[in-house]
Amino acid sequence: MEAVILELAKLFPRFVDIDGDLLRHNVEARYILKRAADYVESLEYHTKDGTDTNEEEIRYLIQALVDINWERIHTGHFSNVSLPVRKIYALGCYFKISSPEQREKCNAILDEAQLLGCTDDWNELKTSLMKHLDDDLYLNDVTSLPILPVVKRCSHRCDIPQIDAPSLNEFRTLCYEPHQPTLLLNTMNHWPAMDKWRNLNYLLKVAGNRTVPIEIGSNYASEEWSQQLVKIRDFLHRQFNGEDEAKEIEYLAQHELFAQIPDLKADICLPDYCTVRSDDSATDVDIKAWLGPAGTISPMHYDPKHNLLCQVFGSKQIILASPKDTEKLYPHQSEFLGNTSQIDAAKLDLQTYPLAESVQFYELFLQPGDCLYMPPKWWHYVQAKTPSFSVSFWWE
């Protein structure tokens, strides 16, 4: 566990901090994590005398713990995986991280801990490991990415109400309670992201070494669509290098990027509108990232939660439809796509889907600084007209 552990040992959890409810009914994990935690603690205080120093055996046990919990995570649907399994998996990954000479391998392990495990209890350790492992990464990436220009606001069709920086009470009475889709203006101009993220080299520096799920293809409902785990730096270079060559569209979509990269989360602010009810809190809000080139499409679909879609840079065409028109929108019959329409909202095929002719569609154009409120189960089609970065906030 060598140099990286020696430097970061103070941040690793002590066994007393992870014992208790998490390990009470898992004797195997309790034994392995105790040995690993005791070993790391011995490194910090340089007191190996009397402490288990069989590093090779500890590595073997930790790998076995990671493997068995990886199998548990991949058995059945991910949403049914218990929190203790994901936490134990994350802890095992942390204790696997070894010397900086194997930096790429350590980064891959760290990403596995974040993507599959639950790391919420060890955010300080996670952030410190990322900074340590990413040191000098940006300096070694000599290919510069563009800085996107500030775009002058344009006048576009908007079929829903627009409100300039509404108060919380105005949002409650005009939008939230009547379930009225609304375009909220000038509500996120104070976000550091509004300036920082246009410089794609900043995103490269802060997030480039992280591995994220990327959608391949412009539309997740198409047969050609697929997903891959990709380094953000590779994704940025392929999709935002400023070259006009034909390339396959890739989309970082609906990903909890800000839990994975705390430095990016510091560039945004939780809108007060997400806590419009007295019993709402920041912990109840799911924050998702949507980053991609021009041409990405989210087909007509609905979400079960309240949704604030905030546009940081770029522009998107949005088409909305009310839940009352659900049957006329021809939802897919499969469970996976049950919340997704079969129609192309931007190019209606009324011969194949005749009921869509009587649907009331609402069109608008989302521009930098705009925030679109969509009530639960409102259908929406989204197409990026330029390179785009959006942040969505979902709450019950």
pLDDT per residue rounded down to tens, the chain (396 residues)? 455 556 667 778 889 888 888 998 899 999 999 999 888 888 766 555 555 557 889 989 999 999 999 999 998 888 889 999 999 999 999 888 855 456 778 888 888 888 899 988 888 888 888 877 776 555 555 568 999 998 889 999 999 999 999 999 999 999 999 999 999 999 999 999 999 999 999 999 999 989 999 999 767 777 777 889 999 999 999 999 866 555 789 999 999 999 899 899 999 999 999 998 766 555 589 999 999 999 999 999 999 999 999 999 999 999 999 999 999 999 998 877 889 999 999 999 999 999 999 999 999 999 999 999 999 999 999 999 999 999 999 998
Count how many domains the chain has: 2
Position 240 in a domain: no
Position 245 in a domain: no
CATH number of the domain enclosing 373? 2.60.120.650
370 alpha carbon, distance to own chain's centre = 20
What are the beta bridge partners of residue 184? 163, 371
Position 166 in a domain: yes
Position 243 in a domain: no
Position 58 in a domain: yes
What are the beta bridge partners of residue 320? 362, 380
Angle at which helices 103-116 and 83-96 cross, to 10°: 170
Question: What is the residue range of 172's domain?
Answer: 162-195+256-395
Question: Could you tell me if 128 and 177 lie in one domain?
Answer: no
Question: Could you tell me if 129 and 166 lie in one domain?
Answer: no
Position 230 in a domain: no
The pTM score is 0.85
Question: Could you tell me if 170 and 310 lie in one domain?
Answer: yes
Residue type, 278: S
CA geometry: angle 256, 262, 266, nearest 5 deg: 105
Question: Could you tell me if 93 and 178 lie in one domain?
Answer: no
Question: Could you tell me if 127 and 263 lie in one domain?
Answer: no
**Cα atoms in the Cβ-side hemisphere of radius 13 Å centred on 309:** 31
